[in-house]
Amino acid sequence: MWRGRDSRSTCARKSRHAAQENAGARPLRDARNGSPGGCGSMRQLLIRCTAVGLGVVVALALAEVGLRLLGLAPPDGVATVTEAQFQSIPGILLPDQDLVDRRDRRLPHHVTTNALGYRGPGFPLVKRPGEFRILFTGDSFAYGDFVNDDQTLPAQLEQRLNGRCGTVRVVNAGLDDATIVDEAKMIERGLRVSPDLVVLLFSENDVDDLNRPATWDRLAENRRDKSRFPLSVFYPLLRHTALWNFALQVRATSQARAHPVRIDWTAAGRADSTTPRLRNAYRRALAALRNTLAARGIPLVLAVFPSHHAVTQDSVRGQVTWATQAGTATGLPVVDLLSPLVASRLSVATLYLLPYDGHPSARGYEIAAKHLADQLASKGPLAGVCGAVAAGSQPSARTLGVAR
């Protein structure tokens, strides 16, 4: 109270002193001496800054409320690891998440992540005796966008094989917006879970996605940003806001529009120079991945999942045909998932999440998982395991060659 009076008296004294000065005194000197103009200017600047700050806060709060009420963006989304977590666990997802993903409010789905950074229930890093592990990687078709944890292709494959072929665990190492160069990184990191078999899921946009910056590099940049001040302080709070997730959606939409999914592929490729170059790059990456795993005694299987366009139109099956031929030419077992989907005679609206999204539905994954399980159980490293179980005897881990 007394301090306020002193302050007003000081300004008043300075005002009287300033009035006695020459009327032509320089404004710079007036402000420097603390004239009424100087005190008033500082006060006005402070008021304006405060008003602007409050206005920004109110606007952000209203935008947050509006986004939530209108369902335009969820307050939660699936997050990826920090830099420190990236160094300590094999998966790429932030551990121990449990949420309903509402990126598309018409397709809410339950997502959990385990302590190792993979989608789905937890499991120990060290493999139990007699357990057969499959590392399943690919893009969002492998991850299982817009379906619950237990409805993804890896989860339904495990349900089909577990028991039928002894103790089988399928690790969901799918990654949104990935292609083979990103999936190779997921496999490299996934070797820590000691897989006995790796399944690589091919999606029709995988070749075209080689013509853009790698998702793996973008994730690395995100980790660096999240680890730096000030984002390192505010990120844990920001990621639980609708505004943050809305910004991520806008960026994802922009990237999707910049790289639309092509459906005009033919098995022979187009006459342009880009198609052969990208396909050759995919073949080289596939061969390198095969060699890397073969050096460790781990077989690789290529599974080819078609788009809904390929299920209904013979004329746009060229990419599926090419991928099957490329896998075979590389010396890999190839499982074509187009055939069982077409043979089901179900509508694409049943097999996929149409009209809302082009990803497979739980029913589509179920049909694909059954066919893939039958193929894996009848050939390759699982054939002996499944046969022994069917015969009523459980072979040892040494016999199976799964203890590593």
Sole residue written with tokens 């990237």:
255
Q: Of all helices (H) and strands (E), which one includes residue 252?
A: helix 242-258
More confident residue, 26 or 294: 294
Average pLDDT, the chain: 86
CA distance 206 to 140: 11
Lookup: tokens for 168 = 């089988």
Q: What one-letter code names the amino acid at 103?
A: R
How do 131-138 and 109-112 pair as beta strands? unpaired
Q: How far is CA 97 from CA 105, 143, 151, 355, 362, in A?
A: 19, 15, 18, 29, 22
Going along the chain from its start, the domains and CATH numbers come out as 94-234+260-400 (3.40.50.1110)
12-21, 32-41, 69-78, 390-399: least confidently modelled range: 12-21
pLDDT in tens, 182-225: 999 999 999 999 999 999 999 999 999 999 999 999 999 999 98
CA distance 93 to 186: 11
Q: What is the pLDDT of residue 109?
A: 97
For residue 275, give the DSSP letter: H
122-136, 169-183, 270-284: least confidently modelled range: 270-284
Q: Of 397, 372, 404, which is closest to residue 130 (Cα–Cα)?
A: 397
Q: What is the pLDDT of residue 3?
A: 43
Has residue 377 got a pLDDT over 80? yes
Instruction: Please list, residue by residue across 187-224, b when 16 or more beta carbons sit within 10 angstroms of its beta carbon and e when fewer do.
Output: bebbbebbbbbbbbbbbbbbbbbbeeebbbeebeebbe
pLDDT in tens, 56-89: 888 877 776 776 777 777 777 899 999 999 999 9
25-39, 208-222, 248-262: least confidently modelled range: 25-39
For residue 93, give the DSSP letter: B
Has residue 7 got a pLDDT over 50? no
Q: Of 82, 161, 151, which is closest to residue 112 (Cα–Cα)?
A: 151
174 Cβ contact partners less than 8 Å away, ≥ 6 residues apart: 119, 136, 137, 138, 139, 140, 141, 142, 143, 144, 152, 154, 201
Q: Of all helices (H) and strands (E), which one includes residue 197?
A: strand 197-203
Per DSSP, the three-state class of 92 is coil
| HSE value, Cβ hemisphere, 13 Å, CA-based, for 337 | 29
